[in-house]
Amino acid sequence: MSELDDSMEQQIQSVENIKKELGWLEITYGRTYMLCGERSASPRGPDLVKDQDEPEGIMNWLKNTYSSFNSLGLPLAQKGNMKGKIVAKMEKGKNVEVETIEENLRMKVYRFKQEIREMGERRIEVELATAVAQAKSAALDAELAAKMARYAIMNEETADMRKEHDVFNNDITMRLQKICVKCYFFN
C-alpha cells in the first residue's frame, strides 16, 4: 500500500516540476492539445524563450515536452480512444483527473429538457384542472344561488298561505261564534 502511495507521490511530484517549468494546464478534447500558461501581449500563445521563437527551437521544445509527458504516462492528444472525451487536470492538494463522456453530457441535457417539457405539461394540466374546478365551482355557486332564491320564494308563499289560513280560520271561528250566540241550542 505504501509503495503505491510513494510511486504515485513521485509521479505527482514530477508532474508538478514539469508544471512549474512550463506553467501550463493540459486540456485534451478530441485531438486538440493546448498549452496554456502566462500569455504574452501578442495573441500567439504562451510566452516562449527567445531561442524557441525559431521553428527549430519550437520543435525541440515540443519534442522534449512530449517525451517528458510520455515517460510519465500522461495522456497527450491521442488518436482514436480520446475522441469525445474531455480530460481536465486540476490542482487541489493532489491532481484530480475528471473524465466526462460527451454522450453522457448530451443525455443529461436531453433529460433536463425532457423534465422541463414534462414540468411545462404538468403546469398546463394543473392550470386546466384549476380552470375546470373554478368553472364547476362557479356553476355550483349559481345553482346554490338559484336554490336559495327558490327557497326564499317558497318561504314567502308559505308565509302568505299561513296568513290566509289564519284569516280563514279566524273567519270560520267568528261565524261559528255568531251562530252559537244566535242559536243557543247548538251549545
Could you report the per-residue pLDDT of 31-45, keeping only the tens digit for each? Answer: 333 444 444 444 444
Tell me if 94 sits within 8 A of 12, measured CB to CB.
Answer: yes
Could you report the per-residue pLDDT of 126-182, keeping only the tens digit for each? Answer: 999 999 999 999 999 999 999 999 999 999 999 999 999 999 999 888 888 888 777
pTM of the model: 0.33
Write down the pLDDT at residue 64.
65
Distances (CA, A) of 118 to 60, 114, 152: 57, 6, 50
Domain positions in the chain are 2-92, 108-186
Query: Per the structure block, which three cell numbers stand in for 19?
Result: 508544471
Write down the pLDDT at residue 147.
96
